[in-house]
Amino acid sequence: MVLEQYFKDYLTAFAKDDKPLWNYEAGVTLLGAQWLYEVTEDPFYKDRIVEFMDHHIMEDGTIRYLDTNELNLDKINSGKILFFLYEQTGQERYKKALDTLIDMLHRHPRTSTGNFWHKTIYPYQIWLDGLYMALPLYMEYETKYNGNENYNDIYSQMKNVRRLLYSEKDHLYYHAYDEKKVMIWADKETGLSHNFWLRSIGWHLMALIDLYELSSEEVFEQHKQYAVWFKEALKGVLKYQDAESGLFWQLIALPEVEGNYLETSGSAMIAYSILKGCRLKVLQAEKYQAVGERILKALHDQKMVCIDGIWHLKDICEVAGLGPKDERDGSVEYYLSEPIVMDEVKGVGAFMMAYAEHLKLKALNEKGALQ
């Protein structure tokens, strides 16, 4: 298949990349590779994960290129693959690296509500992006290694996000919130950013469905509430799905704005979240599986392009953020000014994750396990 070969070619180059950087982008692709390995049992995927991480995790558990004094939620996400590596190999260096990241979270500064700042350079700010970067890893660590001791902390942070960042009018979550209400992008009365950015909405949906999966059913009320928030958020998002293409706009609520475009990474994150929700039976598969499959097919049919015999994934927003000073003001013009690129790691990784969920659902359907 074209898609699976594209993923393999991409991972072959990705695994050899030894940039002096430890950041969140790689974590998306690493998880995509993990889940493709789990569903296909093809050792290629596991081998590429090990090859990449051997550049970054030293024998003593030190994470190469990580400054542990730089308290930044973006530095947490790539650690999610360490659970898989530790369980697969038993090598203590992976557990030590996880312990390092958890220690960083315990030292991370917080808002008055107890939520993690997005980064120290973004003080008193909650971003949807950061929820995905940090909280699923925090949850998995608590469930597997710490007896659920800090479940209330995670739950409280997500509860505050629902209270502070959700628009009852639009049924969407804003990209970010500034507790001090002083940033150029923040509303001076609410502290909220002014627009609904697709990928941030994708980060949030993925955080919710992952937290549901990773939390213990024994803590029933919290476990159940993640599903409630997820279904509410997804219902709002699907109101903005483009009827013709099946995809979602970079500025999800403003399809008519000149320069807006159907963006790949956020659409893939929504597909992943829906298909995973079906697999976990948070969503009714008979109602929602076709919705997720339509998005996945649309990405394949509309965003995969062959140029000079080589396949590419197009229309990925390279990056978007807010501040930290007077730049990146959160305006419509800003979000539509960021480069639109091909084969960017967040877009490819999210597409891999969605495709892996498609394969997992297919396997369950063949076993009759969804009935």
CA distance 89 to 106: 27
Residue 237, H or E segment:
helix 220-238
Cα 20 vs. chain centroid, distance in angstroms? 22
CA distance 332 to 194: 9
The first and second tokens of residue 265, run together, are: 């990474």
Count Cβ atoms below 10 Å from residue 169 Cβ, excluding itself: 6
Task: Examine the residue annotation and report whether 60 is marked as an active-site residue of this protein.
Answer: no
CA distance 320 to 327: 11
Check: CB of residue 230 under 8 Å from CB of residue 282: yes
User: Which one, of 223, 222, 227, 313, lies nearest residue 268 by Cα?
Assistant: 313
In the chain, the largest separation of any two C-alpha atoms, in whole Å, equals 55
The residue with tokens 């009852």 is 168
CA distance 202 to 272: 9
The first and second tokens of residue 24, run together, are: 């969140």
Q: Which of 74, 129, 153, 178 is catalytic?
A: 129
- SS3 state at 174: coil
Check: CB of residue 318 under 8 Å from CB of residue 347: no
Q: Where are the beta strands (DSSP E) in the chain?
A: 125-127, 166-167, 172-173, 176-178, 304-307, 310-313, 316-317, 340-341
Catalogue the active-site residues. Answer: 129
